[in-house]
């Protein structure tokens, strides 16, 4: 009975801990009201899921210190303004550049006066003007790192292929080659057909970029790049534009004037097909974003068991439960990292194949 009670308590804590979005509104309403340990954990999870101008590794709350390094802030506001995000001191300071004052608030930079006052709307969202922000944020660093890793890996594989068709890859290239062949044989050729070579650079790029970013997100570096909907939106738009720019006349004919159906139904099907053009990339965007965000949230919720259930499970018990559940979920997340890269690439190749398919009408 005690064991059952503790089990229910664990899952109750997980359920409430992994809901980071419910806290932000409460924080805004109550201002500087003292936070409970649950609230602090939710805030930390929410902060991890968001992009940041500062690359934080960990923080010492008692000492009031943040360990990491600031990233460059690049603003266009009456000219180009470049400075270190460290000048904001994690949002505590107001930065003055060129006679304009800037404040960092919830990961976004706003224009303020010298006292840093923000105005809010009825939903308690800042209404201050924002400069054009082209800063190097944590997600951008993650993209740079993933790009460097991909260049390093594929340059080695390319050198191997230059030696001849029968050259055997060495080192890490042996890991990449089976994945390259899988994307080619099981996705590109199967879904696109004889024109597959035309789209292989994109399919390989998107597959390995998503896979690398997903795996980096499972490291202690704390990246959550594919859990940022702006990133998944950009990737989905690439698929959308490639699909529709490369589409043949049969594709457009099936959208606007479906062959083989009565004329009245053509007018009914055309709006549905046009809507389908946009729902396909939308599904790509949301699926990748939701799965990665959920995985990061649940893992951090499980880690929080160490702090939340020390009294109920003892220190050793809470650590043990947290480690077992977290390790189990990490294994699942490794599978999800590959699965989401596979699904995005497979669906992209399928959409492209539908657009370039040559139909034979009888």
Per-residue pLDDT of the chain (362 residues; tens, 9 = 90+): 444 444 434 443 433 333 333 333 334 434 445 567 666 677 767 766 788 888 877 766 666 676 788 899 999 998 999 999 989 887 888 999 988 999 998 888 999 998 888 999 888 889 999 999 999 999 999 999 999 999 998 988 888 888 876 778 887 888 899 999 999 999 999 999 899 999 999 999 999 999 999 999 888 887 889 999 999 999 999 999 999 999 988 889 888 888 878 888 888 888 998 999 999 999 999 999 999 988 888 888 888 777 777 777 777 887 888 888 888 888 899 999 999 999 999 999 999 999 998 766 54
Q: Is 95 helix (H, G, I), strand (E, B) or coil?
A: strand
Exposure letters 240-250 (e unless 16+ CB within 10 A, then b): bebbbeebeeb
Q: Is 14 helix (H, G, I), strand (E, B) or coil?
A: helix
Helix (H) or strand (E) holding 174, with range, is helix 173-182
What distance in Å separates the CA atoms of residue 326 and residue 301, rounded to the nearest whole number? 9
Q: Where are the beta strands (DSSP E) in 130-263?
A: 132-133
Cα 237 to its chain centre, rounded Å, is: 15
Q: Is 199 helix (H, G, I), strand (E, B) or coil?
A: helix
Q: Is 168 helix (H, G, I), strand (E, B) or coil?
A: coil
Alpha-carbon distances of 10 from 2, 13, 254, rounded to whole Å: 12, 5, 53
Q: CB count, 10 Å around CB of 65?
A: 9
What distance in Å separates the CA atoms of residue 14 and residue 322, rounded to the nearest whole number? 11
What distance in Å separates the CA atoms of residue 59 and residue 44, rounded to the nearest whole number? 10
Q: CB count, 10 Å around CB of 283?
A: 13
């Amino acid at each position: 009975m005690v064991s059952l009670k503790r089990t229910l308590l664990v899952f109750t804590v997980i359920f409430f801990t992994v809901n980071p979005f419910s806290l932000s509104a409460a924080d805004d309403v109550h201002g500087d009201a003292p936070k409970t340990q649950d609230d602090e954990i939710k805030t930390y999870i929410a902060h991890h899921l968001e992009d940041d101008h500062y690359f934080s590794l960990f923080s010492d709350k008692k000492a009031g210190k943040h360990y990491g390094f600031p990233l460059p802030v690049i603003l266009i506001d009456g000219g180009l303004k470049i400075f270190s995000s460290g000048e904001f001191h994690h949002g505590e300071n107001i930065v003055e550049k060129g006679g304009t004052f800037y404040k960092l608030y919830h990961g976004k930079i706003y224009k303020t006066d010298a006292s840093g006052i923000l105005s809010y709307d009825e939903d308690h969202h800042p209404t201050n003007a924002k400069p054009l922000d082209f800063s190097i944020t944590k997600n951008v660093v993650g993209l740079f790192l993933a790009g460097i890793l991909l260049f390093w890996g594929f340059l080695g594989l390319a050198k191997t292929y230059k030696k001849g068709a029968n050259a055997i890859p060495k080192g890490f290239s042996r890991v990449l080659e089976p994945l390259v062949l899988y994307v080619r044989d099981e996705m590109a050729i199967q879904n696109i057909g004889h024109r597959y070579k035309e789209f292989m650079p994109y399919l390989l790029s998107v597959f390995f970029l998503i896979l690398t970013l997903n795996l980096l997100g499972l490291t202690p570096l704390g990246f959550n790049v594919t859990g940022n909907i702006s990133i998944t939106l950009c990737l989905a738009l690439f698929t959308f534009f490639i699909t529709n720019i490369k589409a043949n006349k049969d594709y457009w004919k099936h959208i606007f004037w479906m062959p083989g159906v009565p004329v009245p139904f053509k007018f009914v099907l055309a709006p549905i097909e046009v809507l389908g053009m946009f729902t396909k990339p939308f599904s790509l965007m949301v699926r990748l974003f939701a799965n990665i965000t959920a995985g990061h949230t649940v893992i951090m919720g499980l880690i929080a068991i160490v702090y939340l259930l020390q009294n109920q499970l003892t220190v050793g018990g809470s650590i043990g439960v947290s480690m077992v559940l977290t390790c189990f979920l990490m294994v699942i997340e490794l599978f999800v990292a590959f699965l989401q890269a596979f699904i995005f690439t497979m669906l992209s190749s399928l959409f492209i194949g539908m657009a370039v398919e040559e139909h034979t009408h009888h």
